[in-house]
Structure 1
């Protein structure tokens, strides 16, 4: 994969790796700053978590409109600078003994908006930095960054919080944005298609593209269903392992590490697997494998639980790489920002609904049945995809042929 990380893409890739690693620290340190430093209540913690997600749901579609009309390089630079200032304000306030939960709320919302813009811009820029034949490998490299950060970052965050305290651990994340700002500044932004005409700049434009294509429509529907079901499972995993199976915190950490390590491995396997079995089947097999974690948890058998977590991590990469590649390849280049933002809004919205409903379902029917319901939901996503053209899709079709196929249906 290393040979793909070259040229202008290398600068984007390095910036992503550094900033994602810093963000993984903040994911742990920000709530710890609220709990340990500010003695936040359960209600305040819930609000802090909700405010972190809210920008993706409230501003998601609008972000796509902005990104398609602005310079992508400037979006990357200014959003990184903004996050540097916002996150740097937390340790600064703590040093002055002025840190408050209200400040953390503001930081959570504004960094969420800037992260939304940055992620949309980077995913929109990526296809322009690599040849079409390298797009899948480039997406594997980008997903590797995310998986490495989410696997190693929380452990590093725990050590940093222990040594520096939570507010000052966030300083590491702020510093990471200084590096990513520099790498974004050094990128020579490729030429882009003309900005969308005013008639095309509507909040619904990205949705119309996604639902108007024969391949992207079932891919989006499948991914949204699977994401909602997977998010039902996520909040209950630790609770189930500790309270019902009486596993130790060390075992919980091992299970999480198994998932993360397999996801990292999966980024190296995803490209060859797509080429071997076809891009559509790779996506479907990845979602299927990810669904098996719930079944393994339901059994309560220790080796199966660890195996299930590893298989789910592998599956996440096997479906993540092809779905990104298909979306970037089939969306009109001048509307890719709106398509990316619309995708993220629906999928993250599905995750929010799934996470919110998991507690109510677990209370009503129990944790184990809820885990099975989550698994059934993910399998429903597989079925939706399997009953569509994804089932037989081996290579990336052109956007024009995908559009014609829809018109012919």
Structure 2
């Protein structure tokens, strides 16, 4: 994979790696600021978590419109600068003894909007920076950034919070956006694809592309269903291990590490796996592997729990790379930003619903049955893909002009 990280893509990749690592630190540090420094109540913590997700649901479709109209390079630069200022305000306010929970709310919302724009722009830019034959490898490299950050970041965050305190640990994330902004500034952005006559950038364009294509439609439905079910399972893992199985915090750490390491390793094999079994079947196999973690937890057996978490991490990479690649390749070039933002809205919306339903369902029927319901939901996502043309989609068309998806005027 390393050889694909070259040219202009290398600059994007390095900037995103640094900023993703910083963001992983803030993911842990910001709630700790609320809990430890501000003594936030459970209601305030819930509001902070909700406000972190809200921008993706409220502004998701708009973000795609904006990104498809603006220079992608400038979007990356200014979103980095904005997040630098916003996150830098937290340690400054803490130093002046003026930090309040309301400031964290504002920071959570605005950084969420800027992150939405940045992520959409970076995924939109990738197809124009690498040759078509390298697109899957480039997506593997991009996904590697996220997996490395989410695996190493929380441990680094814990160390920094211990040494610097939670508000000042956020300085590391703020500084990461300086590096990312410089890397983005150095990118030579290719000319954008010309917009076809009578075509316009509209709020509904991403939805029309996704649900007007025989491959993207089942892919989106499958991903949304699986994401909803996976989000039902996520909040219950630690709770079930500690309270249901009476395992130690160390064991919880080991299971989460098994997931992270497997996810990182999965990015190195995802492209080869797509070539070997076909891009559609690679996606299906990834979702299937990810669905096994809930059933493994249900058994309560240590080896199966660890294996299930490893399968989940591996599966995340195996389905993540093909679905990103299909989305980028099958969307009309001038609408990739809107398709990406629409996709994120659908999937993150499903995750928000699944996380909210998780606690209610676990209270009503118990944690173990809820884990089985979540597993069944993920398997339903597998079935949707299996019963669609996606399963026979083996390789990307050799000629980009033979795209299956074209936006309707």
Q: How would you bin the TM-score normalised by the shorter chain?
A: over 0.9
2:343, 2:394 → 1: CA distance?
22
Indicate the residue corresponding to 2:381 in structure 1. 381
Q: CA deviation at 1:403?
A: 3.3
Indicate the residue corresponding to 1:31 in structure 2. 31
Count the aligned residue pairs.
407
Superposed, 1:66-215 pairs within 5 Å as: 66-194=66-194, 200-215=200-215
Q: CA deviation at 1:194?
A: 2.9
SS in 2 for 1:192: coil
Indicate the residue corresponding to 1:233 in structure 2. 233
SS in 2 for 1:403: coil
1:370, 1:406 → 2: CA distance?
40
Residues 222-249 of structure 1 show CA distances to partners (whole Å, capped at 9, x for unaligned) of: 0000000000000000000000100000
1:405, 1:93 → 2: CA distance?
49
Indicate the residue corresponding to 1:319 in structure 2. 319
Runs of 5+ consecutive residues of structure 1 not aligned to the other structure: none
Residues 105-151 of structure 1 show CA distances to partners (whole Å, capped at 9, x for unaligned) of: 00000000000000000000000000000000000000000000000
Q: CA deviation at 1:391?
A: 1.1
2:71, 2:402 → 1: CA distance?
29
Superposed, 1:294-309 pairs within 5 Å as: 294-309=294-309
Q: CA deviation at 1:393?
A: 1.3
1:305, 1:194 → 2: CA distance?
51
Indicate the residue corresponding to 1:10 in structure 2. 10
Indicate the residue corresponding to 1:265 in structure 2. 265
Q: CA deviation at 1:401?
A: 4.4
SS in 2 for 1:212: coil
Q: 1:198 to 1:47 in 2, by over 3 A?
A: farther
1:50, 1:296 → 2: CA distance?
29
1:330, 1:200 → 2: CA distance?
18
Q: CA deviation at 1:198?
A: 8.0
Contact 2:332–2:407 (CA<8 Å) still a contact in 1?
no
Contact 1:68–1:195 (CA<8 Å) still a contact in 2?
no
Q: CA deviation at 1:200?
A: 2.5
Runs of 5+ consecutive residues of structure 2 not aligned to the other structure: none
2:384, 2:261 → 1: CA distance?
29
TM-score by length of 1: 0.97
1:122, 1:353 → 2: CA distance?
26
Q: CA deviation at 1:284?
A: 0.1
Residues 158-190 of structure 1 show CA distances to partners (whole Å, capped at 9, x for unaligned) of: 010011000000000000000000000000001
Contact 1:196–1:335 (CA<8 Å) still a contact in 2?
no
Contact 1:215–1:402 (CA<8 Å) still a contact in 2?
no
Contact 2:332–2:405 (CA<8 Å) still a contact in 1?
no
2:360, 2:386 → 1: CA distance?
30
